[in-house]
């Protein structure tokens, strides 16, 4: 940890780029519910929590996950219909059921006071407009300077595309950013972009798997990260 602390202290940190699901907001329970509701009509067996967590931790797209759980191959029309159904269910459920992890707003306020910009780089395939709307609903949009979703990029995490683009929109070099996420894909995306990596254990990935990838620092929660930065 001392070596890691030295690496961060010796870096001129100008921005922190966050993943969303499992990092800033706890969406898993809601997502599992609407996912199983959306696939039931196609004869899919409900997906258990540990299985869905594993799929999400691997960074699989929704189509890849659906192909794993559907009883037969899916064509473009079935995929599009099922995807729309799941996303619409999620949007409705998210408004009332999804909250930011405790300490998130306090952390954001602390970062802005220190002059550190906040960016979002997510594996979600939604539009950036949808994500701005979600953060407005959470009361956090005013802290954020840039949001990039995987829908805009050619390659998903662990490729560095979303991180590099987010840093560009922040007008900050990736080398001056810490990327914070809850999966191995987040750690690799940070490393591939040339950024420092921080992992939190509040999401889809097992802590041992995170440690194997040797992130620059690992935390049990966003609140722990706030305490560390202070």
As a whole number of Å, the end-to-end CA separation of the chain is 16
- Does the domain at 28-97 match CATH 1.10.150? Answer given as yes
- Does the domain at 2-26+99-229 match CATH 3.40.50.1000? Answer given as yes
Per-residue pLDDT tens digits for 38-85: 999 888 889 999 999 889 878 788 999 999 999 888 899 999 999 999
Q: Is 219 left (phi over 0), alpha (psi -120 to 50) or beta?
A: beta
Residues 205, 210, 214: CA angle, nearest 5 degrees? 165
* Residues 17, 196 contacting (CB under 8 angstroms): no
Per-residue pLDDT tens digits for 7-18: 566 678 999 999
- Tell me the two tokens of residue 92: 């409705």
Per-residue pLDDT tens digits for 81-118: 999 999 899 988 888 888 999 999 999 999 999 999 99
Domain spans in the chain, listed from the N-terminal domain onward:
2-26+99-229, 28-97
Its pTM stands at 0.85
In angstroms, rounded to a whole number, what is the distance separating the alpha carbons of residues 60 and 141? 27
């Amino acid at each position: 940890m001392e070596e890691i602390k030295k690496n961060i202290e010796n870096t001129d940190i100008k921005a922190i780029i966050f993943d969303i699901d499992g990092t800033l907001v706890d969406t898993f329970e809601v997502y599992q519910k609407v996912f199983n509701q959306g696939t039931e009509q196609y004869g899919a067996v409900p997906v258990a929590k540990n299985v869905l967590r594993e799929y999400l931790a691997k960074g699989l797209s929704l189509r890849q996950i659906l192909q794993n759980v559907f009883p037969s191959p899916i064509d473009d029309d079935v995929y599009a219909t099922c995807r729309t159904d799941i996303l619409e269910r999620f949007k409705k459920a998210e408004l009332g059921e999804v909250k930011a992890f405790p300490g998130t707003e306090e952390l954001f306020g602390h970062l802005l006071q220190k002059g550190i910009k906040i960016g979002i780089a997510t594996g979600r395939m939604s539009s950036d407009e949808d994500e701005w709307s979600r953060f407005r609903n959470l009361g956090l949009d005013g802290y954020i300077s840039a949001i990039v979703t995987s829908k805009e990029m050619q390659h998903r995490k662990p490729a560095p595309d979303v991180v590099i683009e987010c840093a560009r929109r922040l007008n900050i070099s990736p080398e001056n950013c810490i990327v914070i996420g809850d999966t191995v894909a987040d750690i690799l995306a940070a490393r591939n972009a040339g950024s420092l990596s921080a992992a939190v254990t509040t999401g889809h990935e097992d802590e041992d798997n995170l440690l194997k990838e040797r992130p620059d620092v690992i935390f049990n929660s966003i609140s722990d990260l706030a305490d560390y930065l202070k």
